[in-house]
Chain A
Amino acid sequence: MPKDSGIGASSKRREDVRFLTGQGNYTDDINIHGQAHVHFLRSDIAHGTINRIDTSAAETMPGVVRIFTGADFEALGGMPCGWQVTDKHGEPMQEPKHPILAHGKVRHVGEPIAAVVADTLEQARDAAEAIVLDIAELPAVVDMKAAVKADAPKVHDDLPSNLCYDWGFVEENKAATDEAFEKAAHVTTLELVNNRLVANPMEPRVAVGEYARGTDEHTLYTTSQNPHVIRLLMGAFVLGIPEHKLRVVAPDVGGGFGTKIFHYQEEAFCTFAAKACNRPVKWTSSRSEAFMSDAHGRDHVTKIELALDADNNFTALRTDTYANMGAYLSTFAPSVPTWLHGTLMAGNYKTPLIYVNVKAVFTNTVPVDAYRGAGRPEATFQLERVIDKAAQELGVDPVALRRQNFITEFPYATPVAVEYDTGDYHATMDKVLELSDRAGFEARRKDSEARGKLRGFGINCFIEACGIAPSNLVGQLGARAGLYESATVRVNATGGLVVMTGSHSHGQGHETSFAQVVADMIGIDENMIEIVHGDTSKTPMGMGTYGSRSIAVGGSAMVRATEKIIAKAKKIASHLLEASEGDIELKDGAFSVAGTDKSVAWGDVTLAAYVPHNYPLEDMEPGLEETAFYDPSNFTYPAGAYTCEVEVDPETGVVSIERFASADDFGNVINPMIVEGQVHGGIAQGIGQALLENCAYDENGQLLTASYMDYTMPRADDLPGMADYIVDHSCQTPCTHNPLGVKGCGEAGAIGSPPTVINAIIDALRSGGHQVDHIDMPATPAKVWAAMQG
Chain B
Amino acid sequence: MYNFDVVVPGSVAEAVAALGEEDAQALGGGQTLIPTLKQRLASPSVLVSLSGIAEIKGVCKTDDGQLSVGGGTTHATVAREAAGTFAGLAGLAGHIGDPAVRNRGTIGGSLANNDPSACYPAAALGTGATIITNAREIAADDFFQGMFTTDLEEGEIITEVRFPVPEASSYQKFEQPASRFALVGVFVAKFADGVRVAVTGASNDGVFRWDEAEAALSANFAPEALDGLTVSGDDMINDLHGTGAYRAHLVGVMAKRAVAAAS
Contacts and interface: CB of A to CB of B under 8 A. Distances in A.
Interface in B174-188: 174, 177-179
A288 B40 CA distance: 13
Interface string B175-203: 00111000000000000000000000000
B246 interface: yes
Q: Chain A interface mostly helix, strand, loop or mixed?
A: loop
A781 B175 CA distance: 10
Interface stretch (B74-82, B207-215, B226-234, B236-244): B236-244
A407 to B, nearest CB: 39
A340 to B, nearest CB: 29
A713 B177 CA distance: 9
B253 interface: yes
A708 B240 contact: no
Contacts of B179: 708-710
Nearest to B246: A782
A275 interface: no
A708 B178 contact: yes
A710 B117 CA distance: 13
B177 A780 contact: yes
A692 B175 CA distance: 13
A337 to B, nearest CB: 25
B178 A782 contact: no
A704 B239 CA distance: 10
Interface in A672-713: 692, 694, 696, 704-705, 708-713
B124 interface: no
Contacts of A696: 240
Contact of A782 (B1, B39, B241): B241
A125 B177 contact: no
Contacts of B253: 651-652
Interface in B233-263: 240-243, 246, 249-250, 253
A785 interface: yes
A651 B249 CA distance: 9
Nearest to A713: B178
B177 A785 contact: no
A55 B177 CA distance: 42
B240 A710 contact: yes
A709 B178 contact: yes
B240 A704 contact: yes
A652 B178 contact: no
A40 to B, nearest CB: 15
Given A288-B39, A652-B250, A786-B246, A781 B177 contact: yes
Interface string B40-58: 1000000000000000000
Nearest to A652: B253
Interface in A87-131: 122, 125, 129
Given A288-B39, A709-B179, A652 B240 contact: no
Contacts of B243: 782, 786
A704 to B, nearest CB: 6
A780 B241 CA distance: 8
Nearest to A715: B180
Contacts of B249: 785
Contact of A652 (B39, B174, B241): B174
A692 B177 contact: yes
Given A288-B39, A782-B243, A786-B246, A710 B174 contact: no
A709 B179 CA distance: 4
A288 B39 CA distance: 9
Contacts of A651: 253
Contacts of A712: 177-178
Interface residues of B, number: 15
Of A288, A652, A782, most B-chain CB atoms within 10 Å: A782
A785 B174 CA distance: 14
A566 to B, nearest CB: 53
A692 B250 CA distance: 19
A713 B178 CA distance: 7
Given A696-B240, A780-B241, A710 B178 contact: yes
Contacts of B40: 125, 129
A125 B178 CA distance: 29
Contacts of A652: 174, 250, 253
A711 B246 contact: no
A652 to B, nearest CB: 6
A108 B215 CA distance: 52
Contact of A785 (B1, B178, B246): B246
A692 B241 CA distance: 10
Contacts of A708: 178-179
Contacts of A694: 240
Contacts of B246: 782, 785-786
B99 to A, nearest CB: 14
A727 B21 CA distance: 61
B255 to A, nearest CB: 12
A27 B171 CA distance: 45
Contacts of B178: 692, 705, 708-713
Nearest to A649: B253
A785 B241 CA distance: 12
Interface in A702-737: 704-705, 708-713
Contact of B242 (A122, A709, A711, A782): A782
B203 to A, nearest CB: 17
Contacts of A782: 241-243, 246
Of B1, B241, B246, most A-chain CB atoms within 10 Å: B246
Nearest to A704: B240
B148 to A, nearest CB: 15
Interface in B8-66: 39-40
Nearest to A698: B240
Nearest to B250: A652
Nearest to A696: B240
Contacts of A786: 243, 246
Contacts of A125: 40
Interface string B141-176: 000000000000000000000000000000000100
Contacts of B39: 288
Nearest to A786: B246
Interface string A754-790: 0000000000000000000000000011100110000
Of B179, B240, B250, B253, most A-chain CB atoms within 10 Å: B240
Contacts of A780: 177, 241
B103 to A, nearest CB: 19
A219 B116 CA distance: 50
B202 to A, nearest CB: 13
A709 B240 CA distance: 11
22 contacts: A125-B40, A129-B40, A651-B253, A652-B174, A692-B177, A692-B178, A694-B240, A704-B240, A705-B178, A708-B178, A709-B179, A710-B240, A710-B241, A712-B177, A712-B178, A780-B177, A781-B174, A781-B242, A782-B241, A782-B242, A785-B246, A786-B246
Given A122-B1, A129-B40, A652-B253, 7 more contacts: A696-B240, A710-B240, A711-B178, A780-B177, A781-B242, A782-B241, A786-B246
Interface of A: 122, 125, 129, 288, 651-652, 692, 694, 696, 704-705, 708-713, 780-782, 785-786
CB-based closest 9 A-B pairs: A712-B178, A782-B242, A712-B177, A709-B179, A782-B246, A651-B253, A710-B178, A696-B240, A711-B178
